[in-house]
Structure 1
Amino acid sequence: MDGRSSAVAPGIELSPLAPPANLTAELVRRLAAEIRAGRLKAGDRLPTEQALMRQAGVSRTVVREAVAALRAEGLVLTRQGVGAFVADPALRGQVRIDPAEMRSLKDVLQVIELRIALETEAAGLAAARRDPEALERVLAAAAAFDAAVEAGEAAVTQDLELHRAIFAATGNSFFPRFLEFLGPMLIPRQTVRPQLEEPEARTAYLRRVRDEHARITGAIAQGEAEAARNAMRLHLSASRDRYAALAGRLAARDEAADHA
Structure 2
Amino acid sequence: MPRRIKAYHSCLGIAQLYDRNPFVVAWWSAAFPGFGHMLLNMHLRGNLFFLFEILINVNAKLNLAMVYTFCGKFESAKNVIDTRWILLYIPFYFFCIWDSYRSAIDMNKLNDLAKDEKLTVQAMVIKNCDICFLDKRNPLIAAIYSLFMPGLGQIYTKRTIPAIALLIWTLVISYFSKDLEAVERLVSGDIIGATRIVDGEWLLFFPSLIFGASYDALASTVEQNHIFTLEQKQYLWNEWQPAHFYINLPIRKEE
TM-score normalised to structure 1 length = 0.25
Query: Greater Rg, structure 1 or structure 2?
Result: 2
